[in-house]
Chain A
């Protein structure tokens, strides 16, 4: 399939009158601003956007171009989708040795990852790169230890990845939204780490936080190299 046509439903104002956040760059009119940004990004990639919100995108490619914001957001979309699928698989068939309260935590985190993935999917619109099917080499879904260890590493990888990608973003709105997501990923990482070693220093352990009190940071290429094996088809990275 070389082309596909997608219809994106844009909600009416009632869908978001709830609260334009105080102090957020997503003020009133942001929808218009965002669409303008998305259209500009699409134009820069030689794609076309129609006024009706009906867009035509090149599909079937797995290229992530890290030279622009949309490549980075697609990368985030891939990782959030991966996480979302991981937790969905865990929740669908949880390990028998999970302890009290742990399944609810994993459900909550899965809901958050799903919300992140859906947000990015809808935001990227025409510029979205489809995420390949997921595979799970080396993860033992039948044991608490296997699930929590994998969860910890997905969350830590996400935190380090967002921290490493932040300086590549050129639009302030995208940096802020990435910030809104990464701190929740960090909360996840801390909680999973505390489940693995309760009441210890591990929630923000010396293995991830350095002597200056700074969290681990990874360049997008390093994150992609570690995440690649969980995708049935590899991504091709450009502009790293």
Chain B
């Protein structure tokens, strides 16, 4: 067997050691008399790990208060994570929907999206937005949209999953610059962003697509999904150089951003009552 230093990926503790260390330091400060919120103290006293972690995360990330622009970005992200989490919880929980070879990947994705919701709620604390009511058929509440059989047909379920994941990657990417200067939040957002990209690649491959986006091709998705891929054919990265003859690879090599407005327009049909 070949050996290299990073052939054995560093196995993380159940909780991220970096965050855990920060939480531990903050707890020590609180134990030492530092001021904190009642909810954090309550969480610590109750000893409930999840509660304390969420409360401490808010305490650590929001010391001094998060500015409105950061709260807006995080609530935008939280809304998308709510959408994804409920989608996968329902899908994975629907008997007979997901075939055997897709079950482990979709359950792993479900686990991550649920964790993202809890994490963002923890960071936002009382400023977290409520979960909207969703219509995963894409019918804005009619439950009879273009994906009406989403929880009866595995192919439809996977198609909707692909649009959510590819859109999510572009959504986080488009907001990164708005988080500059808030390193804890930015770093966490970047780490969610790359997990969404892992999800996107897996879902695409389970649908028989390449793991990456070629041009602005929706990849065998209905027209309703075209907006999720608009602009992906961008080759603007090569502004300072001569475009490579392999333009297909150029477009695949760079994922593109979407604005908040573009993303909200894409997810609007999935939200009852709009946004």
Contacts and interface: CB of A to CB of B under 8 A. Distances in A.
Given A169-B180, A213-B119, 20 more contacts: A16-B239, A21-B234, A23-B258, A24-B257, A30-B239, A112-B212, A115-B249, A164-B187, A167-B186, A176-B173, A176-B176, A179-B190, A179-B193, A186-B195, A187-B211, A188-B212, A204-B112, A214-B119, A215-B192, A217-B191
Interface in A180-226: 180-191, 194, 198-201, 203-217, 225-226
Interface of A: 8-11, 15-16, 18-26, 30-31, 34, 108, 111-116, 118-119, 121-123, 125, 137-140, 146, 149-150, 153, 156-157, 159, 162-164, 166-167, 169-170, 172, 175-177, 179-191, 194, 198-201, 203-217, 225-226, 229
A111 B246 contact: yes
Nearest to A24: B257
Interface in B40-99: none
25 contacts: A19-B233, A23-B231, A24-B236, A111-B246, A111-B252, A112-B252, A119-B241, A125-B240, A139-B2, A139-B4, A150-B4, A153-B9, A164-B187, A177-B237, A177-B254, A185-B194, A187-B211, A188-B211, A203-B108, A203-B198, A210-B14, A212-B116, A213-B111, A216-B10, A216-B12
> By CB atoms of chain A within 10 A, which of B6, B10, B243, B246 has the most?
B6
Given A108-B210, A211-B15, A214-B191, A180 B237 contact: yes
Contacts of A188: 201, 211-212
B18 A187 contact: no
A26 B231 CA distance: 13
B194 to A, nearest CB: 4
A128 B193 CA distance: 28
B173 A183 contact: yes
Contacts, number: 300
Contacts of B4: 137-139, 150, 153, 229
Given A24-B257, A149-B7, A201-B105, A182 B231 contact: no
A108 B236 contact: no
